[in-house]
Amino acid sequence: MTVSRWILMTLAAAIAVGPACLPGRVGDGDGGVGGYGHGDVPTGQCPAEEDVAFCYPGSGVTRSLGVCQDGIVTCSGGTWGPCLGYVVPTTVETCSNKLDDDCNGLVDEGCGCEPGAELPCYTGPATTYELGACKNGVQACEGGTWSTNCVGEVLPSSEVCDQVDNDCNGLIDTGCTCVNGATQSCYDGPAGTNGVGPCKGGVQTCAGSAWPTACDGAVLPSAEACDKVDNDCDGLTDPGCTCVSGTTQACYGGPPNTLKVGPCKAGTQTCTGGQWSSGCPGEVPPAPEVCNGQDDDCNGESDNGNPGGGGDCNTGQAGVCGPGSNLCKNGSISCNPNQAPSAEACNGQDDDCNGESDNGNPGGGGVCNTDQVGVCATAKVVCKNGAFTCPQDTLPSDEVCDGLDNNCDGQTDENNPGGGTFCDSGQLGNCSAGYKQCKNGNYDCVPYSDPTQENCDGQDNDCDGIVDNNPADCPQEYCFGGACFQL
């Protein structure tokens, strides 16, 4: 019988008894004879007699779901035969058999249920599930059968400009410019004029998902009117105009970004005889910074630049925290350490500023070599006076059977420490009695005697478990009780 014929018979037997796990291809092991795979029904000519392939005439989406399974098709006479043994979906679900008969991934849908039971449901497109506003609902068991209504689900709807993904496509307010009812500030005047003089911004309100062109409430620059108002919003009031005696205006000679910062403030010019007075009485311009807790140079910081500080000083602290520099802080000069405390290092200094140098054996503790032998050879590294040393911390002791040189003489387990006592070697006859021998840190039981030639002496000389077998000293006689007898 050929291999292919044997495989065919095996597959046919599997089909006859019900669902089975079938190979992808019989012949060359590449998954499907002649290029056919799961979900296909090969027809026409076939490549080799008795080749076998999977076949499935049902919809590809149902293959291997529920009870659905592939069949097999066999090459006979150069042509594919019929598809045998397949199982395709039924049109109606068979209730209470706990099987997915229609191969849609659900078991016993449309069948009876326990009153009060619930199942999650969603009837919208799968691509919208749990996106945006969409959410699943609940399918309830009513009157012993599952309801066809999905209560509480939210399905995709037309997009509304409300900052919600109504159509559940993963994008919010697609096609919208703004949210209806939202407002934004607006100003159509030249840059730099908003908030200067009478100029101010207005408000736009979103309507019909778009911003209007009008800017309600905005005040834009106008021609200068010599009315004590900065009509063109350029920061100057009535430029080129002859002032009215008794009127005043603010003035400031410092950098603009320092005005109203710290103590800096504007002064006031008064119009006298139709002309503005010279200078700017009452102004406070920036001054050099001093250590007084104030922002003298009007840059937004007090005592910046360490005014009056910088010289060397002593903090009175221990170790590396002692040397310091004068620092202006909160309006007074103090001595600030040049170096903050840090982890102690083996350098002969008091790095952590606790009054001790090299405390805590910094950097030490590792294993080092003392130039001794045995257990005396290794020790712990010790930091002392800013340098690492390796003081011997293990003294010689009596030798014990542990594989170590306890007495530091260069030998390990010498003189059989702890050994010499009687033990059972585990062997037979005269070889069973032994003595403890220390070897590589462990005890072995060494026999007192090795196997010897068997003699008629009532002992097991050759250690084979038999006494006086084939003794050499009475080869033509019979040995019994340790004595030879003539046969």
pTM for the whole structure: 0.31
The structure tokens listed for 199 are 């100029």
Helix and strand numbers, DSSP H then E, in the chain: 1, 23
Please measure the distance between the N-terminal and C-terminal CA atoms of the chain and give it in whole angstroms.
69
| Residue 121: HSE in the Cβ half-sphere, 13 Å Cα cutoff | 17
Position 100 scores a pLDDT of 64
Position 265 scores a pLDDT of 95
E strand or H helix that includes residue 436: strand 433-439
Where are the domains positioned within the chain?
A: 3-80, 454-487
Position 228 scores a pLDDT of 77
- Residue ranges in the chain whose pLDDT is less than 70: 1-40, 61, 65-66, 96-100, 103-109, 126, 245, 273-274
Name the residue among 243, 284, 237 with its Cα closest to residue 262. 284
Position 1 scores a pLDDT of 34
Instruction: Give residues with Cβ within 8 angstroms of 107, minimum separation 6.
Output: 66, 98, 99, 100
| Residue 54: HSE in the Cβ half-sphere, 13 Å Cα cutoff | 24
Name the residue among 242, 280, 234, 288 with its Cα closest to residue 262. 288
Position 312 scores a pLDDT of 92
Position 224 scores a pLDDT of 78
> What span, in angstroms and rounded, lies between the C-alpha atoms of 230 and 260?
20
